[in-house]
Amino acid sequence: MIEITRRYVMKFPPDSADKALTYKLIKDFDIKFSILKAEVRPGRTGSLLLEMEALPENIQKGIEYLEANDVACEPLGKKIKFEAGKCINCGNCTGVCFTGALTMDREQWKLNFEPELCVVCELCVAACPMNLFDINFHEEEPEKIIAID
Amino acid sequence: MNIDFQNQSMTFKKSYEEINEKIRKGKAVVLTAEEVSAMARELSPSEIVKRVDVVTTATFGAMCSSGAILNFGHTTPPMRMERITLNGVPCHGGLAAVDTYIGATSENPDNIRYGGAHVIQELVEGKSVELEAWGKGTDCYPRKYIKTKISLETINEATLFNPRNAYQNYNVATNTTSKIKYTYMGTLLPGMKNANYSTAGELSPLLNDPEMRTIGIGTRIFLGGTVGYVVWPGTQFNTSKEKNIFDVPMSNAATIAVIGNLKEMNAEFLRAAYYEKYGVSLFVGIGLPIPILDEDLAHRVSIRNEQIETTILDYGTAGTPVLGRTNYAELQSGMININGKKVRTAPVASLQKAREIADLLKKSIQNGKFELAAPVAMFPTGTSLKKLFESEGGEK
């Protein structure tokens, strides 16, 4: 069997802070992982971009374990929305993409997008003059700030 | 091909009329500027002038100095529109009663990501936009306010008129500072981690006829998906920029002012853009045909990316100091060298769309649908730019 590499965006529920969930990924499922991006909102939720390297069935079991503990797991590709049909192949996004997820095909001068290489730096979101990228890494809606009397 | 033997030893020449006659008969030989540059590796200009009649050039980039002249038609009772907005974007009053000019970079104060370019694109897409106008009311124009919907179908004229487009060459932008810079040349990462360029290199219109022997007032072009015209030298028209040994300016030099019927345009070639922390702009598609009248023009259109140099500027530092020079072969390779440091490059204008335009124009000419127009007047030479000084406290 060959180990594979997969990137997932995981959303942790507010009460998961005291559980060693990611530790179990290593210990029980033999998953090597790198944290590419993390955002912890104390008392609320946390978001994690995890690159996992393991046998395919172990990644599968690890995801099932996390989901059983109310962690929402989605492949990175599904969290990035790109309206390819409106792209004019200008290349602005490739200038900021240091991981090589966005590159120009230097024959046809069309944009190549490989979401699996993305680390959710989100620079492309601002760099695209057509506003075609939408990355859902954070919480759905920022909570309203309640004024304290 | 009809070759005059007397001319063979001399310089071979063709007239606009001869070329147009071939176009009408569907016999004109048309190549894109990239195709002719490849051909020039095998053939000399004296051979190319005999084989090729027209070379098509093109560009599709953000051109901030763009906008549209609109005439809304009169209301009953009539109104002298003095303050005008379209979808909340301020348009120019001060043009009679119901004329306006909407600049591409004008922004809606309530939503700065939406501007004149978006209004223009939506109009071209056939959408309605909201017109709101105010006037003081006069004896002959008593109405003081209107709020209504307009579209290209409901209004009289809609003319795209861009005072400065298709820069002959443009600088490369990088950023040596420790802070990210958001510019019209794209997002520039700190520490010179990227360098952005916009010119289409050997396909770029004004680089293929750098002396503008065939580009002048009245030159017929492809503009935003339809036929347009060059009407004037573009603003900031500068013929005094330093040239390289291949006779092309190595920084932003000449420009063109262009005009065309917005009602015939296509949003494929006219696209609104918003640059983070900069503002709104308009991507404009321009295709420009160059008649190969003689050997000199055959030589000019043969220019290749490695022969077209441009200047690298630090957009992070006030005064945009010069960091060095590069050429379009290096820029298009994806990596340039700036003072010993390898820097990744990215285009900010679409070469893919520019090629599409050059091909469309080529086919129109081949099919006899697009004839060439000789300029009725040529552009000035020896022009340079003035700076704006403050009258008080500024330098004299």
pLDDT in tens, A84-142: 999 999 999 999 999 999 999 999 999 999 988 999 999 999 999 999 999 888 765 54
pLDDT at B7: 47
A79-135 is classed CATH 3.40.50.300: no
The DSSP code for B139 is S
| CA angle in degrees (0–180, nearest 5) for B318-B175-B193 | 170
For B373, how many CA atoms within 13 A lie in the half-sphere containing its CB? Answer: 19
Give residue B56's identity as a one-letter amino acid code.
Answer: T
For residue A127, the chain B residues in CB contact (below 8 A) are: 186-187, 276
* A72 vs B: CB within 8 A: no
The continuous run of DSSP H or E covering B107 comes out as: strand B107-108
pLDDT at B230: 98
For residue B346, the chain A residues in CB contact (below 8 A) are: 91-92, 94-96, 104
- Are A30 and A53 a contacting pair, CB within 8 Å? no
Cα Rg of chain A (Å, integer): 18
d(CA B346, CA B332): 8
* A104 vs B: CB within 8 A: yes
- Are B70 and B106 a contacting pair, CB within 8 Å? no
d(CA B210, CA B298): 12
C-alpha pair distances (Å), A22 with each of A10, A11, A49, A136, B157: 11, 12, 12, 21, 65
Residues 6 or more apart whose Cβ sits within 8 Å of residue B67:
B101, B102, B103, B104, B116, B120, B160, B161, B162, B163
Q: Other C-beta atoms within 10 Å of B336: how many? A: 21
- Main-chain phi, psi angles of B111, to 5 degrees: -155, 90
Pick from B293, B290, B227: nearest CA to B56: B290
- Are A30 and A52 a contacting pair, CB within 8 Å? no
* A121 vs B: CB within 8 A: no
Cα Rg of chain B (Å, integer): 23
Q: Answer whether 0.90 is exceeded by the pTM.
A: yes
d(CA A19, CA A23): 9
- From the list A89, A129, A130, the residue facing B352 with the nearest CB is A89
Task: Please give the average pLDDT of every successive group of 10 residues along chain B, which has 396 residues.
Answer: 50 95 98 98 97 98 98 97 98 97 98 98 98 97 98 98 97 98 97 98 98 98 98 96 96 97 98 97 98 98 98 97 98 97 98 98 98 97 93 64
Q: Which residue of chain A is at minimal alpha-carbon distance from B173? A: A95
The complex's ipTM works out to 0.93
C-alpha pair distances (Å), A63 with each of A59, B106, B395: 6, 49, 68
- From the list A96, A109, A129, the residue facing B189 with the nearest CB is A96
d(CA B169, CA B209): 12
* B333 vs A: CB within 8 A: yes
- Are B91 and B97 a contacting pair, CB within 8 Å? no
* A91 vs B: CB within 8 A: yes
* B283 vs A: CB within 8 A: yes
By residue count, chain B amounts to 396
For residue A96, the chain B residues in CB contact (below 8 A) are: 186-187, 189, 194, 346
Q: Given CA atoms B94, B99, B102, B103 in this order, what sign does their dihedral have?
A: negative
Domain A4-77 CATH superfamily: ACT domain (3.30.70.260)
* A60 vs B: CB within 8 A: no
* B186 vs A: CB within 8 A: yes
- From the list A91, A98, A127, the residue facing B276 with the nearest CB is A127
Calculate how close chain B gets to A107, using CA atoms only, in Å.
Answer: 9
Residue from B187, B204, B315 to probe the interface with A (highest A Cβ count within 10 Å): B187
Please indicate whether, in this complex, the C-beta atoms of A106 and B334 are within 8 angstroms of each other.
yes
Pick from B283, B287, B164, B170: nearest CA to B231: B164
Please give the span between the terminal C-alpha atoms of chain A, in angstroms, as a whole number: 62
- From the list B274, B334, B355, the residue facing A131 with the nearest CB is B274
- Are B227 and B370 a contacting pair, CB within 8 Å? yes
d(CA A33, CA A8): 11
d(CA B278, CA A92): 14
Please give the span between the terminal C-alpha atoms of chain B, in angstroms, as a whole number: 61
Q: State the burial class of residue A68 (Cβ atoms within 10 Å of its Cβ: 0-12, 13-18, 19+).
A: exposed
* A131 vs B: CB within 8 A: yes
Active site residue B140: yes
Please indicate whether, in this complex, the C-beta atoms of A92 and B281 are within 8 angstroms of each other.
no
Domain range list for chain A: 4-77, 79-135
Catalytic residue among B1, B140, B377, B388: B140
Pick from B167, B172, B151: nearest CA to B337: B172
Calculate how close chain A gets to B352, using CA atoms only, in Å.
Answer: 5
What would the DSSP string read from start to end of B297-337?
Answer: HHHHHT--GGG-EEEEEETTSTT--EEEEEEHHHHHHTEEE
pLDDT (average), residues A42-66:
92
Q: Where do we find the tokens 């490739």? A: A94
Please indicate whether, in this complex, the C-beta atoms of A96 and B187 are within 8 angstroms of each other.
yes
pLDDT (average), residues A31-49:
89
Give residue B36's identity as a one-letter amino acid code.
Answer: V
Please indicate whether, in this complex, the C-beta atoms of A92 and B271 are within 8 angstroms of each other.
no
For residue A85, the chain B residues in CB contact (below 8 A) are: none
Please indicate whether, in this complex, the C-beta atoms of B348 and A127 are within 8 angstroms of each other.
no
Calculate how close chain B gets to A102, using CA atoms only, in Å.
Answer: 11
Within this chain, domains A4-77 and A79-135 share the same CATH topology: yes
pLDDT at B64: 97
| CA angle in degrees (0–180, nearest 5) for B5-B9-B11 | 100
Extract the runs of DSSP E, i.e. beta strands, from chain A: 4-12, 32-40, 46-54, 72-75, 80-82, 102-105, 110-113, 133-135
Where are the alpha helices (H) located in B92-238, listed in sequence order?
116-124
Q: Which residue of chain A is at minimal alpha-carbon distance from B353? A: A88
